[in-house]
A and B are shown apart, each in its own frame.
Chain A
Amino acid sequence: MSDIMKTKEVGRSVNKLDGLSLASGAARFVADKVPPDVLYGAILTSPHAHARIKSIDKTEALAVPGVKVVLTYRDVPRVAHTTAGQGFPEPSPYDTFCLDSKVRFVGDRVAAVAAETPEAAQEALRRLRVEYEVLPAILDPRDSMKPGAPVIHDEPEARVIIPIVYEPQKNLVARATAHMGDVEAVFKECDVVLEGSYHFSQCQHCPMEPHVCFTELDELGRLTIHTSTQVPFHVRRITAARMQLPVQKVRVIKPRIGGGFGAKQEVLIEDLCSALTLATGKPVLLEYTRAQEFISSRTRHPQYINVRMGAMNNGDLKAIDLRILMDCGAYGAHGLTVVSNSGSKNLPLYRWKAVNFLGEVVYTNLPLGGAYRGYGATQSYFATECLLDELAAKLGLDPIALRQRNHVRPGESSPIFEALGEGKAGVPQTIDACGLPECLIKGAQAIGWNEKHGKAAMQTGVTRRGVGMCALMQGSSIPEIDMGSCYLKMNEDGSFNLQMGATDLGTGSDTVLSQIAAEVLGCATEKILPYSSDTDLTPFDVGAYASSTTYLTGNAVINTATKVADQIRGVGAEMLKVPVAEVRLEDSCVVAADGRKVTFEQVGIYSLYEKNQFQIQATGSHVTHKSPPPFSAHYAEV
């Protein structure tokens, strides 16, 4: 705590560095950057939940004035991939194609066009003649594994690239399990055992800016992708593979982003936009409408959840059996990892003596799930926290007291951390800090829990007011997998360029990471010029997901800024003619023990122009070895 109190820039309420740019309308988002000769892309989507394409006649579509190209599955490389914007090797199955001869949900891609006007593109879509052979569809995940169910991924290419459970012939996308102790035996010893079944349905992220991508060929013939993404480096890798281009031939630029919430952790339209540019040689803009966001984008994975909990009369929680059937939709993106997080972010929160966890993920012919903030934890907590409230009522305990009695304490661990990883074994970890007790009390005070809780039962009528609460645990980054890095250089006026692969999508990470750099450098945050992200200009970062940027990239910034601070101290000491150990950095100055100082501006000019010249600069990376869980308590009055 004392370290936190000593900071000057971290913890200072600074204005968002891009705030005025956004508020004045100067900030450029993807669709604000297109050249006047841009072609407009449009996608024909499937009206059927499950069908084979028997034929596509594009003659009439191509005859529409202004139409430049029509692409079908015959015109693009057939490369099985995943749209999940995850690190390599992705723990999601390779079961998706840029365009395919089979469609697997209403809204799946059939064909794409590029035309000189949006109207011509839409007219071309209307004139495409497609003949389908309609197949039986699965519209309920509880039917997916029944004998005789239609096989949604019968193509030979469907596969996983790491050793995980994947049985497409049974429509099984993934299975995650974890066990601790003998759950059934412990249930027998419990005073109370409760069971509940829950269904969590689809929802859509609805970022204010829908998915949008603009591609062009640069003067060297390289494909440049300007895209609204959380994961520019994964976009580069995955799109290059899909287009059968070397990574060297692809550049991805992320300008300002109008929110993502997980929806833009998906490499969703970059491939098709690129294919249209590669086919025409022209810049192409492809943007989803709001309706397409609902139909053809991603959702939060629906889950059917069955929970059993056992406890003693004194309120001690003993055993939990959590079984999840997750609807992945038509493709397997994020299937394994979302359901794993339903277990790994939930089960360590309370001190269970015995745990049984089963998560099964299945294909259906419905719109597919993807990353959605909370990433699986949201769904399972909905079920377990509801049942915990019922348990509290049964035991005659206040719901808050039940949670206070049982939540994990600092210094404790859970075998679940190790049992449930993200495509490989998890990483054991001990809870270093837990602010949940404070959250529980503050929330209760803020909402007036003691006055309001339980009073709904005494009200009459259909409409009543009541309060409710739940406790949650999350993580910060994926341990031993996620890596972030940055580059920092000093200018002659004492300002710094901070270039990061990390992706500010409205989260403010450009500002937060600049504060961290400024803290280490001993200057004001406003002296930092953050830039993110451009795969040609900024170093690698896995991207903005898994609640990781401040922790992961923040540590990379500390590493980097520490190296730059050392260089500044070295130059300053040389100028002040004192040993480097005797100087410190403060308020954009190098200060000697006797109080003499040189400013960062003087250091900058000296290092670039005067003597022993060199560029003060450094790069640094950080890979995370743990995923420190933040805890929270939520209260609502409805």
Chain B
Amino acid sequence: MRIELTVNSETKYFRTSPDEKLLELLRRYGYMSVKKGCGEGTCGACTVIMDGSLVNSCLVFAPMAAGRSIVTVEGLGTVNDPHPYQEEFVKAGAVQCGFCTPGMILAVKSLLDQNPDPTDLDIRQALDGNLCRCTGYVKILDAVKNIIAREHEEARGGKA
């Protein structure tokens, strides 16, 4: 079967089958930032944003995503033209092995899109579906706080 899907603002047709997971479809089409960690919705490595909501793509059947808009971390920025969230994660030392990082950054984006001024508890709750085995989370939380501070600075017209 064929479905129409918007991935990172680009609308295309994708071949799929009724039992294919969105995770597998995205990886088959080269969106390799979407990682398979557990395949059962516990680790968050396959996190994508679908129509503004955070989902584990390993739990979404691809045909259910038909007509929807997906954001992967490739859609935020690239190595040579990174998004501020990606920069802040690197600066804070929040990226170690990096396997969880794409999903983690999307979870941060989803949070800040809905709540630009979250409390520490809001941040922890927003990230609780994304596991990291390397960092101990402290530097990830630092990165999120730095992102918020940077956005506030930019909103005040200050220099980033």
- A185-219 CB contact bits vs B (8 Å, 1 = yes)? 00000000000000000000011111000000000
Q: Is the CB of B43 within 8 A of A208?
A: yes
Which listed residue (B39, B77, B133) contacts A24, Cβ 8 A?
B77
* Residues in B26-77 with C-beta less than 8 Å from chain A: 27, 31-40, 42-43, 45, 72-74, 76-77
B10 CB to nearest A CB, Å: 15
A210: chain B residues within 8 A (beta carbon): 37
- Secondary structure dominating the interface of B: loop
- CA A610 to CA B96, docked complex, whole Å: 42
Q: Is the CB of A506 within 8 A of B37?
A: no
B73 CB to nearest A CB, Å: 5
B87: chain A residues within 8 A (beta carbon): 20, 23
- CA A612 to CA B98, docked complex, whole Å: 44
A24: chain B residues within 8 A (beta carbon): 33, 73-74, 76-79, 82-83, 86
Using CB atoms, name the residue of chain A closest to B86. A23
Asked whether A290 and B86 contact (CB < 8 A) given A206-B133, A505-B97, the answer is no
- B71-114 CB contact bits vs A (8 Å, 1 = yes)? 01110111100110011011101011111111001000000000
A261: chain B residues within 8 A (beta carbon): 133
Q: Is the CB of B99 within 8 A of A208?
A: yes
- CA A399 to CA B101, docked complex, whole Å: 40
Interface-central residue, B34, B38, B77, B105, by most chain A CB under 10 Å = B38
Asked whether A23 and B95 contact (CB < 8 A) given A208-B43, A208-B100, A290-B39, the answer is yes
B35: chain A residues within 8 A (beta carbon): 29, 208-209, 258
Asked whether A290 and B95 contact (CB < 8 A) given A15-B90, A22-B101, A26-B79, the answer is no
Using CB atoms, name the residue of chain A closest to B89. A23
Q: Is the CB of B98 within 8 A of A27?
A: yes
The answer, yes or no, to whether B149 is at the interface (CB within 8 Å) is no
B70 CB to nearest A CB, Å: 13
* Residues in A348-371 with C-beta less than 8 Å from chain B: none
Q: Is the CB of A32 within 8 A of B97?
A: no
The answer, yes or no, to whether B148 is at the interface (CB within 8 Å) is no
Using CB atoms, name the residue of chain B closest to A36. B28
- A23-40 CB contact bits vs B (8 Å, 1 = yes)? 111111101100000000
B93: chain A residues within 8 A (beta carbon): 16
Asked whether A259 and B95 contact (CB < 8 A) given A20-B82, A24-B73, A210-B37, the answer is no
Q: Is the CB of B79 within 8 A of A20?
A: yes
Using CB atoms, name the residue of chain A closest to B131. A208
The answer, yes or no, to whether A143 is at the interface (CB within 8 Å) is no
A336: chain B residues within 8 A (beta carbon): none
Which listed residue (A20, A25, A31, A506) contacts B96, Cβ 8 A?
A506
Which listed residue (A21, A206, A289) contacts B79, Cβ 8 A?
A21
The answer, yes or no, to whether A454 is at the interface (CB within 8 Å) is no
- A217-250 CB contact bits vs B (8 Å, 1 = yes)? 0000000000000000000000000000000000
A204 CB to nearest B CB, Å: 11
Asked whether A208 and B102 contact (CB < 8 A) given A20-B90, A24-B82, the answer is no
The answer, yes or no, to whether B22 is at the interface (CB within 8 Å) is no
Which listed residue (A15, A21, A26, A506) contacts B97, Cβ 8 A?
A506
B142 CB to nearest A CB, Å: 13
A319 CB to nearest B CB, Å: 37
- CA A599 to CA B27, docked complex, whole Å: 45
Q: Is the CB of B45 within 8 A of A28?
A: no
B150 CB to nearest A CB, Å: 15
A164 CB to nearest B CB, Å: 33
A428: chain B residues within 8 A (beta carbon): none
The answer, yes or no, to whether A507 is at the interface (CB within 8 Å) is yes
- CA A32 to CA B32, docked complex, whole Å: 6
B96 CB to nearest A CB, Å: 5
Asked whether A31 and B105 contact (CB < 8 A) given A208-B100, A505-B97, the answer is no
Which listed residue (B73, B76, B134) contacts A259, Cβ 8 A?
B134
- CA A310 to CA B101, docked complex, whole Å: 49
A29 CB to nearest B CB, Å: 7
Q: Is the CB of A20 within 8 A of B86?
A: yes
- CA A32 to CA B33, docked complex, whole Å: 9
B127 CB to nearest A CB, Å: 14
The answer, yes or no, to whether B132 is at the interface (CB within 8 Å) is yes
- A1-27 CB contact bits vs B (8 Å, 1 = yes)? 000000000000001101111111111
Q: Is the CB of B134 within 8 A of A506?
A: yes
The answer, yes or no, to whether A256 is at the interface (CB within 8 Å) is yes
Using CB atoms, name the residue of chain B closest to A205. B133
B83: chain A residues within 8 A (beta carbon): 24
Using CB atoms, name the residue of chain A closest to B42. A290
- A256-289 CB contact bits vs B (8 Å, 1 = yes)? 1111010000000000000000000000000001
Q: Is the CB of A25 within 8 A of B134?
A: no
The answer, yes or no, to whether A508 is at the interface (CB within 8 Å) is yes
Q: Is the CB of A26 within 8 A of B38?
A: no
B133: chain A residues within 8 A (beta carbon): 206-208, 259, 261
B100: chain A residues within 8 A (beta carbon): 208
B101: chain A residues within 8 A (beta carbon): 22-23
Other A-B pairs beyond A22-B98, A25-B102, 6, CB < 8 Å: A15-B90, A20-B86, A24-B86, A26-B79, A207-B99, A258-B35
- Which 9 residue pairs are nearest across A and B when measured between Cβ atoms? A25-B33, A506-B97, A22-B98, A258-B99, A19-B90, A23-B86, A32-B32, A208-B99, A290-B38
Interface, chain B (partner A; CB < 8 A) = 27, 31-40, 42-43, 45, 72-74, 76-79, 82-83, 86-87, 89-91, 93, 95-102, 105, 131-134
Interface, chain A (partner B; CB < 8 A) = 15-16, 18-29, 31-32, 206-210, 256-259, 261, 289-290, 505-508
Enumerate 30 A-B pairs (CB-CB under 8 Å) in ascending A order.
Answer: A15-B90, A16-B90, A19-B90, A20-B86, A22-B95, A23-B89, A24-B73, A25-B32, A25-B34, A25-B73, A25-B74, A26-B33, A26-B78, A27-B98, A29-B32, A29-B35, A29-B99, A208-B43, A208-B100, A208-B131, A208-B133, A208-B134, A256-B97, A258-B37, A258-B97, A258-B98, A259-B133, A290-B43, A505-B97, A506-B98
